[in-house]
Amino acid sequence: MLDGPFEKLVKQISGLPGLGSRSARRIVLHLLTQPGNTMHMLAATLEEAAQSVQSCDICGNLDTSDPCRICRDPSRSEEVICVVCNVADLWAIERTGTFKGTYHVLGGVLSALDGIGPNDLSIEPLINRLKTGQTSEVILALSATVDGQSTAHVLADRISDTVPSVKVTRLAHGVPVGGELDYLDDGTISTALKSRAAV
């Protein structure tokens, strides 16, 4: 039924995360039947974003400028560096608006299965940042998965070996805010019990 530019568009959109051919077709139809120039506008915004995206040389964040706005922000210091797996995690923490230090994007986690070793991650640039002596704490904000935690261990060892003055911390484990105990796994409940806090 479809051909030429429509089929090409459906194919490209269905390759995006979370979308399949059916949802891509629905999106293309929506765009085609929209009044006005929705499609032109989307094309222009995509082009604009593609042209302006840059990777920050300091932390690895994506922004329209290099260094990124977080590294340039005079109110944020290198005193505390939050290490994240990827830019999505950086944005997730940034959305909370509670962290006022700077970030370091690793670009992934160690994974024997996917053949990702320490040299594939941005570990050396992190150590070099720490060696400048401006940083007193590194928060390892990595996922609580096996790969995330083994990456955190390797990083913690590497940091205490090379820059022992830097304190290494990790995110707290416990009951998610709004979470019901009944639906939580045993590991989370026992960790939350062990790390209980005074009210």
Site residues (vs its own copies, CB under 8 A): 1-6, 8-9, 12-13, 16-19, 23, 25-33, 37-50, 52-53, 62, 64, 69, 86-88, 90-91, 94-95
If the CB atoms of residues 8 and 72 are measured against its own copies, the closer one turns out to be 8
If you search the block for the tokens 């959305």, which residue do you land on? 95
If the CB atoms of residues 27 and 171 are measured against its own copies, the closer one turns out to be 27
Helix spans in the chain (H): 4-14, 21-33, 38-52, 69-72, 87-96, 123-131, 146-162, 186-194
If the CB atoms of residues 53 and 193 are measured against its own copies, the closer one turns out to be 53
Cα 92 vs. chain centroid, distance in angstroms? 7
From the CB of 105, what's the least distance to its own copies, in Å? 10
From the CB of 118, what's the least distance to its own copies, in Å? 21
If the CB atoms of residues 91 and 131 are measured against its own copies, the closer one turns out to be 91
Q: How many CA atoms lie within 13 A of 131 on its CB side?
A: 9
Q: For the chain, how many helices (H) and strands (E)?
A: 8, 6
Q: Collapsing DSSP states into helix, strand and coil, what is residue 38?
A: helix
From the CB of 70, what's the least distance to its own copies, in Å? 8
